[in-house]
Structure 1
Amino acid sequence: MISATSPGELRIEHLVKTFGPVRAVDDLSFTVAPGRVTGFLGPNGAGKTTTLRVLLGLAAPTSGTATVGGRRYADIEHPARVVGAALEATSFHPGRSARDHLRVYAPQIGVPDSRCDEVLETVGLAPVAHRRVGGFSMGMRQRLGLATTLLGDPQVMILDEPANGLDPEGIAWLRGFLRYLAGQGRTVLVSSHVLSEVQQTVDDVVIIAKGRLVHASDMAGLRDLAGSQVMVVSPDAAGLRALVARRWPAAASPVDGRDGAVLLRDVSAAEVGSAAFAAGLELHELSPRDRGLEDVFLQLTAEEVAA
């Protein structure tokens, strides 16, 4: 039975892409839903850009498929009206104004010059529409690149490392803009090699390493992997070991070889404190040490690289 595909859904199915002996993408499968911001994450060299290039018809798959709304990019009649993509820093003629830059692309896409003014307004560049791009900051250039991808009013936005080179103010603006696009029902796929850049923005995450999928879920699912941890330190090392062996034998990790110190996973400080009190065990430290999402991301990708 063939499942229905929504117009803006991105679907990667058993994708393989090799370059000679190098397997850049290795049996990769995932979907990206409309109306959500999806973070496509992995270390540099994980295969993110190669996957996006195959999705956009810039590289042929060795095997498997990559489709937009159930169609290959090459089969879309007016692709710029369906997909807006920015895979690398856009080149700008420094002597052209922002509006004239867009006017070069408008007839190729089949939209009137008035659309150039609309997208400049959308990205906040209307006040500088007639300024030469050569004097633009990195953040303004990024906005102009996004305006270019929006010319055809596409349902799907694919952005490769869009936060590169942005200052904190620019990153904050980008987060709000991506949420705005998803709020319009668009499909937004954003690649990054740094989870912290996108974790406050994305709804879903797809994490790859060495071309293979290592995790796919919503952000709540990724947070669940972080779990909770508590640091326990006691002057009675033998007593602490006995308590841990009795109550939480599978949840303990040593702490840098320190005798009388242990890190417990998925156990609350209140639970440990109550058990220690009942056992008459003196504690010198009992503190939550929740693992950050960046640690989870690094662990997931490191495990795949080491495999």
Structure 2
Amino acid sequence: MPSHDRVIAVSHLSKTFGPVRAVDDLTFEVHPGRVTGFLGPNGAGKTTTLRMLLGLVRPTSGTATIGGRPYHRLPRPLRTVGAALEASSFHPGRTALDHLRTYAPQVGVPDARASEVLDLVGLGGAADRRVGGFSLGMRQRLALATTLLGDPPVLLLDEPANGLDPEGIRWLRVFLRALAAEGRTVLVSSHVLSEVEQTVDDVVIIARGRLVHASPLDDLVRLARPQVRVVSPDAAGLTALLARGGWTRAGDPDATGHAVDLVDVDAATVGAAAFAAGLELHELSTRNPGLEGLFLDMVATPAAPTHPEVAA
């Protein structure tokens, strides 16, 4: 399949449920050979967006396509897109192998493929166990096995790390990156950046249904700059010090004028300038918000989107 047939494209996508605007003018792209993290807090609109991509929910406006086509127009949708939106839709009385054998004819693959994908996800030894006795982590693996039945070039996975122990999360990280290395398009949703930051190549971050950031992960890392916190009882003196230094503030200024957070400057430089100006300081500290802190700031107060398209 040509690489352009594996591109996920969401364009000005919106969905309204009564008075609730679950997805609001969302635009981004996801490219093959990459693992893309689709991130946002619970209720941000991630699952609704995935369901629109799969034709399970009709958009109010905009488009959601795979290879330039909506899901219902794909020639062989189950062989093109593998999707796992939940890990609970299993008959508890069926074995893992029987569950996959039930889906194999719908996908158009032989029964032997069921055993192959169970081995791929590390459930080969549990093939004859009833799913009702599976842990949540095992159900997540079985859901992933189901998505892989048709060997699809595009994967949509909703919270696949939910319920996995640390070993399972490490396994999932390696597995997803291996799938992307084969040229597949892998879109993974999560409400926790720290859960996927060692896995993904690109990030798409939404909040309240709106895009707040989309870029390669490396670009997001560069935004997570260390900050210097400066607190002084002399608000006027602090204002004068900042004017002389020409430093960049991080976020909105403190209402009292007694505290400020700065970026692109180190504490030693600020301290030396304060000493030279005779300014009393009550706090001078370096804070590193890290990626998770940056992510939480972004989703707390959605603003204009940055990097509106994830590049290949």
Same fold (TM over 0.5): yes
CA RMSD of aligned residues (A): 2.7
2:96 corresponds to 1:88? no
Q: Cα–Cα, structure 1 residues 288 and 143, in superposed 2: closer, same or farther, change >3 Å?
A: same
Mapped contact 1:204–1:219 kept (Cα < 8 A): yes
1:267 lines up with 2:270 in the alignment: no
Q: Which one of 180, 200, 203 corresponds to residue 202 of structure 1?
A: 200
Partner of 1:144: 142
Question: What is the percentage of aligned positions where both structures have the same residue?
Answer: 70
Quote how far apart the aligned CAs of 1:180 are: 1.7
Aligned-partner Cα distance in 2 for 1:217–1:69: 20
Q: Residue 115 of structure 2 aligns with which residue?
A: 117
Deviations 1:176-204 (A, max 9, x none): 22212112111111111222221221111
| 1:126 corresponds to | 124
Query: What is the aligned partner in structure 2 of residue 26 from structure 1?
Result: 24
Distance 2:179 2:196 in 1: 15
- Asked whether 1:192 is paired with 2:190, we answer yes
- In 2, Cα distance between equivalents of 1:16 and 1:5: 27
Name the SS of the counterpart of 2:189 in structure 1.
strand
Distance 2:174 2:265 in 1: 36
What 5-or-longer segments of structure 1 have no aligned partner?
none
Q: In structure 2, do the counterparts of structure 1 residues 23 and 231 end up closer, same or farther at CA, with 3 Å as the change threshold?
A: closer
State yes or no: 1:51 paired with 2:43.
no
Partner of 1:41: 39
SS at match of 1:7: helix
Structure 1 residues 20 and 257: alpha-carbon distance in aligned structure 2, compared to 1, 3 A threshold: closer
The answer (yes or no) to whether the contact 1:123–1:147 under 8 Å persists in 2 is yes
Q: Distance in 1 between matches of 2:281 and 2:20?
A: 53
**What is the TM-score when the length of structure 2 is the normalising length?**
0.86
CA distance in 2, matches of 1:93, 1:212: 36
After superposing the two structures, state which structure 1 stretch, 114-123 or 279-288, moved more: 279-288
2:223 and 2:120 map into 1 onto residues whose CA distance is 37
Q: Are the equivalent residues in 1 in contact too, given 2:96–2:142 (CA < 8 A)? A: yes
Residues 206, 299 of structure 2: 8 Å contact kept:
yes
Q: Secondary structure at the match of 1:304?
A: coil
Q: Which residue of 2 aligns with 1:245?
A: 243
Aligned-partner residue type, residue 7 of structure 2: E
Contact 1:5 1:70 in 2 (8 A): no
Gaps of 5+ in 2: 304-312
After TM superposition, the structure 1 stretch with the greater mean CA deviation from structure 2, 233-242 or 68-77, is: 233-242
- TM-score w.r.t. the length of structure 1 is 0.87
* Residue 178 of structure 2: aligned partner: 180
Q: Which amino acid aligns with 1:22?
A: V
In 2, Cα distance between equivalents of 1:135 and 1:234? 60
CA displacement 1:83-126 (0-9 Å, x = unmatched): 00011224222332211111111111110112112111111111
Q: How many residues align?
A: 301
